[in-house]
Structure 1
Amino acid sequence: MAGRAGALRLLMARGRAPRLLLWLATLLLPPLLLRAGQGCPGHCYCFATPELVQCSYVRLQEPPAELPRGVRNLTIAGGNLTVLRSAAFARPGSGPLPELSLLLLARDNIEAVEERAFQGLPGLAVLDLSHNPLRALAAGAFLGCPRLRTLKLNQALLLLGEAPEEPLAGALRNLSLRRLELAGNGLRALPAAALPDGLEELDLRNNSLQGLSPEELARLDSAPLARLQLHLAANPLRCDCALRPLLAWVRNASWRVPDARSLRCAAPRELSGAAALPLRPEQLGCGAGRAGEQEELETASYVFFGIVLALIGLIFLMVLYLNRRGIKRWLNNLREACRDQMEGYHYRYEQDTDPRRASASPSASPSGL
């Protein structure tokens, strides 16, 4: 191959090679030169070193056998893998691939992922299963991948059933993911039960979410998901009063929804295409309703206050009626005491104003004796 390359260069240097040959050489020689014969599986290309293996559009029916033990990045695109069975990527008879950290399996027509399909990949950190028509996802599909941090399932759950959250929650149990991509899966609700603790980034773009309920927002505010960032662009939000909790949540912590300014209304018709974040409560149809609710609350408060006062008055009257004899006796005693007091004052007044006592001199007493 090196001789052929040298001959081509010689022909081109002498000007005897047509431009078409030059173009073909430029297009075809790099893959041929990068093709490694040592430790590289058939129908694949090992670039630079066996650490990076790429199998592209060769219609593989199963994962390639005899992968290099030191492979770190593996890409299989355009295959027809259909079913990933247990330990599908472990080398037959030679054990696991401890160095493999990046595995890209987009558009490989994968329909089922069985138990422990990725067993033997202890160092796997990034797994991409996007654009595969998954119909079955085993609860233990990702067991044996303790270092898995990024999982991409974009447009992969459309055929998983009406409630893809249940098999997804089972498959993600006991994982320590940091990034989860679920874009383009037609989800109508937040897969709250499927979110692993410690998740830091969740991509829910281009789904069928009309909003998030207070319960779903409470799950996002829980301690295990306190650092989560949520991507919600290209969802058909329904901009009515039910959207207020989500808008309030986004405004209070804008860092949690990096694409908040891209949120658009899909309904009602008069708000179609409008930016959701700047909308006020009265634009969401909550103004009149809130005023009516406030008036009803005030009326109910006044009624309740009147009932309480009536009960207090009734209790007071009952106490007076039951103690009427004692109250009468107490009033009589009080009246007698007041009368005695007044008589004492009256007697003293009469004594002090008697003119005979006032005209009597103190020296008349001894002469009378």
Structure 2
Amino acid sequence: YAEVPRDIPEWTSTFILKGSNISTLQRDAFMTNGTELEMTTLSLSYNGIQAIEPYAFLGLSRLHLLDLSHNQLEFISSRAFHGLPELRSLYLNYSILPAATTQLSDALNTQSLRNLHRLELAGNTLTFIPLQRLDIYNLHALVLINNSIESIGRENVTSLYQQRRIRVYLSLNPFRCSCELEAFYYWLKNSSQCPDAGRLLCSEPEAKRGIPVEKLREEEVDCMNENLEAVSYVFLGIVLALIGVVFLMVLYLNRGGIKRWLNNIREACRDQMEVYHYRYEQDSDPRLANVAV
């Protein structure tokens, strides 16, 4: 098929469509003679789907599970998942191309998914959690494994604290273990909401690569400590610069005294050389032996 077939029997309970090279899910793709389908499962994985148009799943008001994994989504309408009030599980693993990342966030921000329990977004090179608000769902599991998330912001951490029923899976993400990770670090240490917490590893900086995030020391993610350390280095640099300036000023103001000191040394050296020269002549000429120096 090049598109979703429209002659689906209205009594369908499970619909699996694999390897059909579908490029677009169009509006009303699952409407059959104006009758709502009573599906419980719909799988459209491995189809090469590139776009989901508005209301593509209209007519599946009783659908419980939707699997769109392993596709190539470049476009997702903000109304792509409208009309799915009973959806419990949504699988979008290895499907979201970079162009559709921000569109995904808008598409998921809909009241139609208010009963969503499980959302899987593994392997999509996401750099952030694409859920604008966690409180509009009934999420129990959020799978973000194997993405490109380097940090979880304070705002997301606050939402996770508030939605304690959620379990978030975050392994195989390249976390940057700097003080930007502070709020997330303390959430990880004090919460049981991340079942794979022990598998979260630092990717940067190089000195911390491979270290489990939860094994970091508190001072390593303490922004206040990091800022104070930076300030101390700046202050030390200023102090050394001031010392150098004072030293140069002392040299400049005392250049006359230094000159006199150098002249005195030169005069003393010259007098001593004259004494050595006279003694040499005295030793060479016996007539000068009885002359006192």
Whether TM exceeds 0.5 here: the answer is yes
Tell me the equivalent position of 1:340: none
CA distance in 1, matches of 2:210, 2:151: 15
Structure 1 residues 69 and 281, CA, compared in 2 at 3 Å: closer, same or farther?
A: same
Query: Please, which of 77, 96, 107 is the counterpart of residue 36 of structure 2?
Result: 96
Asked if 1:174 is matched to 2:77, the reply is no
SS in 2 for 1:246: helix
Amino acid at match of 1:267: E
Corresponding residue number in structure 1 for 2:207: 270
Opposite residue 157 of structure 2, the aligned amino acid is: L
* 1:180-259 matches, cutoff 5 A: 180-193=119-132, 195=134, 196-222=136-162, 225-254=163-192, 256-259=193-196
- What is the letter of the counterpart of residue 218 of structure 1? T
Counterpart of 1:153 (choices 86, 92, 110) is 92
Q: What are the Cα deviations for residues 306-342 of structure 1, in whole angstroms up to 9, with x where unaligned?
A: xxxxxxxxxxxxxxxxxxxxxxxxxxxxxxxxxxxxx
Aligned twin of 2:15: 74
Length-normalised TM-score, structure 1 = 0.57
Q: 1:303-322 alignment to 2 at 5 Å?
A: none
**Cα distance in structure 1, aligned partners of 2:177 and 2:221:** 6
**Counterpart-to-counterpart distance in 1, 2:9 and 2:202:** 51
Answer whether contact 1:281 1:287 (CA < 8 A) is retained: no
Q: Distance in 2 between matches of 1:194 and 1:159?
A: 21
Match of residue 77, structure 2, among 121, 134, 138: 138
Give the C-alpha shift of residue 257 in structure 1: 0.2
How far off is 1:292 after superposition? Answer: 5.5
The whole-number CA distance in structure 2 between the counterparts of 1:246 and 1:260 is 11
Q: Secondary structure of 1:77's partner?
A: coil
Equivalence for 1:341:
none
What do residues 166-192 of structure 1 show as CA deviations (whole Å, max 9, x unaligned)? 43344x443221111111121112224
Structure 2 unaligned segments of length 5 or more: list them. Answer: 233-293
- Report deviation, 1:234: 0.4
- Aligned-partner residue type, residue 196 of structure 2: D
Following superposition, the deviation at residue 277 of structure 1 comes to 1.1
TM-score by length of structure 2 reads: 0.70
> 1:239: Cα distance to partner?
1.3
Closer, same or farther: CA 72–270 of 1 in aligned 2, 3 Å:
same
Per-residue CA deviations over 1:36-74 (Å, capped at 9, x if unaligned) read: xxxxxxxxxxxxxxxxxxxxxxxx222234333322111
| % identity of equivalent residues | 34
Structure 2 Cα separation of the partners of residues 121 and 162 of structure 1 = 25
Q: 2:239 corresponds to which residue?
A: none
User: Secondary structure of the residue that 1:87 maps to in structure 2?
Assistant: coil
The structure number with the bigger radius of gyration is 1
Higher relative contact order (CA closer than 8 Å, sequence separation 6+)? 2
Count of residues in Structure 1 that have an aligned counterpart in Structure 2: 230
Q: Decide whether aligned partners of structure 1 residues 285 and 252 sit closer, same or farther in structure 2, where only a CA change above 3 A counts.
A: closer
Partner SS state of residue 230, structure 1: strand
Q: Which residue of the other structure, out of 260, 271, 287, is the alignment partner of 2:197?
A: 260
